[in-house]
Amino acid sequence: MPRYALKVEYNGAPFAGWQRQADQPSVQGAVEAALARLEPGPFTIAAAGRTDAGVHGLAQVAHCDMAREWDPFRLSEALNHHLKPNPVAIIGAARVAEDWHARFSAVERRYLFRILIRRAPPTHQAGLVWHIRHDLDVDAMQAGADFLIGHHDFTTFRSSICQSASPVKTLDALQIKRIGTPWGDEIHFHVRARSFLHNQVRSFVGTLERVGAGAWGPDDVRTALNARDRAACGPVCPPHGLYLAGVGYPEDPFA
């Protein structure tokens, strides 16, 4: 059966997350339902990562097996037609080898987290950013973030329901930048690693926000990391500012 890689963009607000669920809407369920309109199913697609409820996708990657050969462009166009009115779009499709796997072939995941800094509540950006009314010290947050980069036991920043076999991961990058926009200043967190623990990025951002607000010092992040204790973590930030921004492979299937 021919296998296709799909690059998927979605607004996570109306979904209970990526993973298919029996009684709640999911991104996976929406894509599988669209596939079933093209060929007899049932379809089960695999993704590079499972995003939680409210988390968005800029470039999630999944793969599907079809019964017949499809031109990748025609496949993406047909899926987008049947995905309406869901806030989900196939922004790329490519034929891949039959042993290629969206999750297991990936060598890198990239996440973006957006904080909007302004007094007034967001209107156009509502549900797309974490709105904070106080300013944040980006330099202090970056100083704290630097302690997290590298190979560590991230038990402190791991959800209690995380199913990963080990809390030990390598964080390749965590960069924090202030971005000026027409609707106010945003703080962007760019996070990169081969794989992540459940709630790891949101735990990072919630902890670093405390540093930016002056409630924690940068060294307190190192202390929390070394504690290897979930109770030492700062608050976990809300999901709606988080985006799966990209997935890396040894060879880009969409190139």
CA distance 168 to 99: 28
Catalytic residue check, 252: no
By 3-state DSSP, what share of the chain in percent is helix, strand and coil, each rounded to 5? 25, 30, 45
Question: DSSP assignment, residue 123?
Answer: S
Closest C-alpha among 3, 43, 50, 2 to residue 26: 50
Q: For the chain, how many helices (H) and strands (E)? A: 5, 10
CB 237 within 8 Å of CB 205:
yes
Structure tokens at 147: 């302690």
CB 91 within 8 Å of CB 8:
yes
Please, what's the largest Cα pairwise distance for the chain? Answer: 58
Q: Catalytic residue, from 23, 52, 229, 252: name it.
A: 52
Sequence-distant (≥ 6) Cβ neighbours of residue 227 within 8 angstroms = 156
**Residues labelled as active-site residues:** 52
